Amino acid sequence: MKSPLWRLTLRLRLGLSAAVAVAVAVSAVAVASWLVTRQQLTAQLDSNLESVQASPGYVQDLLSLCGTELPDTGQRSETPTPYVVQVITADGTVCVAPGNKKIAVDESDLAVARGMLRSAVHDATSEDGQRMRVSTTHPDMPPRFSGDYAVSIAQSLNVVDKPLNSLALFLLGFAGLGVIGAATAGIGISRAGLRPVGHLTDAAEHIAHTQDLTVRIPADGNDEIARLSKSFNDMTEALATSRDRQQQLIADAGHELRTPLTSLRANIQLLIRSHRSGRNLPEKAMNDLLHSVESQVGELAALIADLQELSRPDTTPDETSLHVVALHEVARRAMERVKLRGSELEFTSDLDEWYVLSEPTALERAVVNLLDNAVKFSPAGGTVSLRLSDGRLTVRDQGPGIPADELPHVFDRFWRSPTARSLPGSGLGLAIVAKVVQQAGGTVTLQPADAQGTEAVIRIPGTRNPPSSMEPGRASSEAAA
């Protein structure tokens, strides 16, 4: 179960946290100050008590009250004020002046009286319950007046307690003001500091309700809030781009699917009318019609396969789907497949060994797509050449070439050159090539050939020699080398 504090707003929690932190710090300082002051005042009181000496005459008078007579000291009896003086004999008898209250005797007082200790300082309580500070010493008397007794000089602890109580009240008030000020300042600072977070929250709620991904948050500075705002802006921009691409893909796919579906529907309707009317089509017309239906179905299947390929995330595949691939073998197989579709063309190849880390099926399809484009645009009797050297795979045709202003668009999805609109294809082949090569860590470019035609160049990092281990992690490290 969550604490009730989590029900508060973040501003209040920060304010309370600041108040608690200041309260702990101020309390620690206040307690330390109070303890140090008490120690100093007590030490000063002890020093004062130890410096006070009762006159021998006064001590003689107190002893006489207890029935102990000493020779006359010849000195006048003087009463030290504002102190309380009492004499303690070795047997525990307490002698105090009339009108003064006796102070409780401690074991240390008796030890001084019996000569076991030189002095003792301690707290004690008088007969009327007053707390006293007592300093007990053996008096400095002439040898003929010495005996087994000690003199205690005491003073009320009020001289220490009153300043300490005043100090405690002052520190308590100061700590309370500090806590209130810290809480107020904490809430104010958190409100100002979290204002960008409030804007971020408002923007997120606006996007959630309106699906408007054009919202941007001002991101000034280099602090954490500014970085969060920049990340939010980058995220919304990426989402907007992804949504635009998705909508464009749907629109383009619908457009591309409409043509074969329209043709396929017309052919099927013709077959249905022929069947219902009972009038059979001529054999040649029927064969042409069935061939057209078969072609349209194949075109739809290829288009759907291309769309499935492009719908996969544009991220690097995980290691379980990556394998060390002999690019020269992939290119050789792709050449053999394409030769069946270009019987009127001449094919040449020069393939050096090159091993890369990729998805074998996807990589072969990318090479087939490039070769298919070369076959499509090459004139009858032309030559399609395939070359692999130092990791550079080149596919070259002798077609009309691609205008310079169209080169930046050749890898866009569904983009087709105006001169190629009448040729079969969906405009997805080169987009698939770019995606596969990018996932393999390589690059692909199209450029005019030296004499005539177009040259497609794929560069994928790899190695000339077969890796000693077929594990993806080992192969990628060798390829990087």
**Domain ends where: 311, 330, 347?**
311
Quick check: 103 and 84 in contact, CB under 8 A?
yes
Q: Predicted confidence band at 475 (pLDDT cuts at 50, 70, 90)?
A: very low
Residue 341 shares a structural domain with residue 474: yes
HSE-CB of 65 using CA atoms within 13 angstroms: 16
Q: What is the DSSP letter of 379?
A: P
Co-location of 297 and 323 in the same domain: no
Number of domains in the chain: 3
Residues 7 and 105 in one domain: yes
What CATH code is carried by the domain that includes residue 299?
1.10.287.130
For range 285-303, the mean pLDDT: 77
DSSP state of 157: T
Q: Enter the tokens of residue 201.
A: 């929250």
With a CB cutoff of 8 Å and minimum separation 6, the contacts of 137 are 50, 112, 118, 119, 150, 151, 153
Q: Same structural domain for residues 253 and 333?
A: no
Highest mean pLDDT (candidates 119-133, 143-157, 185-199, 424-438): 119-133
Q: pLDDT class for 71, splitting at 50, 70, 90?
A: low
Q: Can you give the residue range of the structural domain that contains 400?
A: 319-480
Q: Which residues lie closer than 8 Å to 344 by C-beta, 6 or more apart?
A: 380, 381
Is there a single domain that holds both residue 371 and residue 270? no
**Is residue 261 located within the same domain as residue 128?**
no
In a shared domain, residues 175 and 38: yes
226-235, 402-411, 453-462: which range is least confident on average? 402-411
User: What does the DSSP 8-state code read for residue 312?
Assistant: S
Interatomic CA distance for residues 67 and 372, integer angstroms: 134
Residue 366, pLDDT above cutoff 80:
yes
Distance CA 183, CA 131 (A): 41
Q: Read off the tokens for 472.
A: 């993806």
Residue 404 pLDDT greater than 90, yes or no: no
pLDDT at residue 474 greater than cutoff 80: no
The pair of structure tokens assigned to 315 is: 């991220």
**Residue 198 belongs to a domain:** no
- For residue range 419-459, list pLDDT tens digits in order: 554 455 556 777 778 888 888 889 998 888 877 788 899 99
What pLDDT is recorded for position 123?
Answer: 92
Please tell me the distance from the alpha carbon of residue 202 to that of residue 378, in angstroms, as a whole number: 58
- What DSSP string runs through 13-66? HHHHHHHHHHHHHHHHHHHHHHHHHHHHHHHHHHHHHHH----HHHHHHHHHHT
**Among residues 193, 210, 235, which one ends one of the domains?**
193
3-state secondary structure of 394: strand
The whole-number pLDDT of residue 414 equals 58
State yes or no: cis peptide before 196, omega within 30 of 0: no
Instruction: Note whether 265 and 289 are within 8 A (CB).
Output: no
What pLDDT is attached to residue 148?
A: 80
Residue 119 — φ and ψ, nearest 5°?
A: -160, 165
| Residue 241 within any structural domain of the chain | yes
* Same domain, yes or no: 353 and 468: yes
Whether the CB-CB separation of 228 and 194 falls below 8 Å is answered with no
Tell me the percentage of the chain whose pLDDT exceeds 70.
80
* CA 145 vs CA 64, 85, 111, 122: distances in Å: 13, 18, 19, 27
Does position 313 have pLDDT exceeding 60, yes or no?
Answer: no
Task: Judge whether residue 387 has pLDDT over 90.
Answer: yes
Most confidently predicted of 54-63, 236-245, 402-411: 236-245
Q: What is the CA radius of gyration of the chain?
A: 51
Average pLDDT (358-385) is 86
Find all residues with CB under 8 Å of 14, minimum gap 6, and list them. 186, 187, 189, 190, 194
The last residue of a domain, from among 311, 334, 362: 311
Q: Identify whether residues 59 and 167 lie together within a single domain.
A: yes
Instruction: Identify whether 152 is part of a domain.
Output: yes
E strand spans, 186-237? none
Helix (H) / strand (E) element for 292: namely helix 283-311
List 474's β-bridge partners, or say none: none
Evaluate whether 155 touches 80 at the Cβ level (below 8 Å).
Answer: no
